[in-house]
Amino acid sequence: MGNDVKATNVTWHHSQVTRAEQEKQHGHKSAVLWFTGLSASGKSTLANAVAGALYERGCHTYVLDGDNIRHGLNKDLGFSPTDRVENIRRIGEVAKLFTDAGVLALTAFISPYREDRDKAREINGESFIEIYVKCDLNVCEERDPKGLYKKARAGEIPNFTGISAPYEEPEAAELTIDTSHETLEDSAARVIAYLEERGILS
C-alpha cells in the first residue's frame, strides 16, 4: 500500500474550472482543517460545530470523520501501524480533492503519528491547517462515549491510542485547542477567528 503504484498508463486530467474560480464562486478560500487528538478529545464534535458555523456564513464544507470513512473508503483497513499509515494517506488525498473543488474540508481523525500528519501536510501544502484538539487522557477516559477506553484497559482492544499505542502530540500545530477547559462555543469561535486571520474567510 502507500507508494505502490499499480495503475499504469494513467494521466492526471486538469479541470477546466480552476480551484481559484471555485473559490471565487463560493466566496471563500478552500483549506483542510485537520483536527487531531485522542479518542473522545472532542475532534468530531468540534469539527461539526465549526462546519455548522461555516454553513451559517454560506460556506461550502465537508466533514470527513474517522468512523464514517472506515465504514466505506477505508473499510479494508484495521488499526495496525501499517494500516493507520495508509488510512491517513488516503484521507490526505481525499481532502486535497475537496480543496481542489473549492471546499473547506474538515477531518476528524486521531492520526496519532507526526510523520503521517506531516505527509498529509505535504500532500495539501499551504492549504493544510493542523488543529490539535488537546485533552487530558483522564478526561477522555471519563467521557469515553463509546466505552472504548474501558475495553482497552481490559485488554479487549489492541493498539488503542493513549493506552497500548502511542499518540505523538503535534509540535507546530497552527492551532491548539484544549477541550478539557474550553467550551465548545469558544473552541469553534477560535477556529473561525483563525480562518479570518488567514484570509480564508472574508
In the chain, domain spans:
19-197
Architecture of domain 19-197: 3-Layer(aba) Sandwich (3.40)
95-108 pLDDT per residue, tens: 999 999 999 999 99
pLDDT greater than 90 at residue 191: yes
12-65 pLDDT per residue, tens: 667 688 988 988 889 899 999 999 999 999 999 999 999 999 999 999 999 998
**Catalytic residue among 41, 111, 127, 187, which?**
111
- Give the pTM: 0.88
Higher pLDDT, 158 or 105: 105
What distances in angstroms separate CA 110 from CA 38, 113, 118, 168, 170, one per listed residue?
Answer: 6, 9, 14, 10, 12
Average the pLDDT over 167-180 and give the result.
Answer: 97
Note the pLDDT of residue 2: 52
Tell me which residue of 202, 196, 200 sits closest to 30, measured CA to CA: 200
Average the pLDDT over 80-107 and give the result.
Answer: 92
pLDDT greater than 70 at residue 66: no
Residue with cell 473543488: 101
Type of residue found at 117:
R
Query: What confidence tier does 69 reach under pLDDT thresholds 50, 70, 90?
Result: confident
Asked about 111 being catalytic, the answer comes back as yes
Note the pLDDT of residue 202: 84
